[in-house]
Amino acid sequence: MTIKVENLKVNFKTLEEFTQFKEYGLQELSMLEELEYSLVEDAAASPFYGIYFGDKLVARMCLYVKDGHLDGAIQEYDKHLEIWKLEVLPQYQFKGYGRMLVDYAKHFNLPIVTRPRVKSQDFWVRMGFQSLSEDSSRLVWIPDSISTKKIS
Ligand SMILES: CC(C)(COP(=O)(O)OP(=O)(O)OC[C@H]1O[C@@H](n2cnc3c(N)ncnc32)[C@H](O)[C@@H]1OP(=O)(O)O)[C@@H](O)C(=O)NCCC(=O)NCCS
């Protein structure tokens, strides 16, 4: 079985699968509403990326590209990524899926910012993230080099 990270399409199946995750909320509900009222095309690309184990969605994250400079020491980048809602279903944790999603985001070679949930700080430190600034709860990962890879 091939385990890979893929872009999750906006459709009723994906949105049903999202209900398994703890961080199901307003964003998913508004996607559902847009789909129900045909304001968005069925199977349009979403900002969500996920990993299937067989036909079950077991891990997901929301990945946004943000324009503009980040505060602090990383002025050479005029855009960065933000990870939200990184989550692995409980029975699939500690199998490397969280790392796979973070590695996927890292391969764009842009700084990545996230706001960790209370109990996940150690995971992010293991993934190479550090505090964005002394008074910020946000964490950042900074790539070694600038690359030309693009995120759509
Ligand atoms: C935090 C989370 C995303 C990690 O995903 P995962 O698939 O279990 O993590 P991985 O198996 O890829 O672990 C990668 C490494 O981090 C470590 N790790 C994973 N979760 C950890 C935790 N909560 N605390 C400390 N280390 C952790 C693993 O032991 C592994 O270490 P290794 O490289 O030395 O082997 C997952 O546990 C989760 O969804 N938790 C609930 C929601 C949450 O907190 N999300 C964070 C969003 S801010």
Share of the chain above pLDDT 90, in %: 70
Which domains, from first to last, does the chain contain?
A: 5-141 (3.40.630.30)
Q: Which of 62, 54, 64, 56 is nearest to 14 (CA)?
A: 56
Q: For the chain, give the mean pLDDT.
A: 90
Tell me the pLDDT tens digit for each residue of 27-39: 999 999 999 988 8
Pair of tokens at residue 38: 């045909």
Atom of ligand 1 nearest to the CA of 23: 42
Tell me the pLDDT tens digit for each residue of 48-85: 999 999 999 999 999 999 988 777 656 778 899 999 99
- Tell me what pLDDT residue 132 has: 86
Of all protein residues, the one whose alpha carbon is nearest to atom 1 of ligand 1 is 120
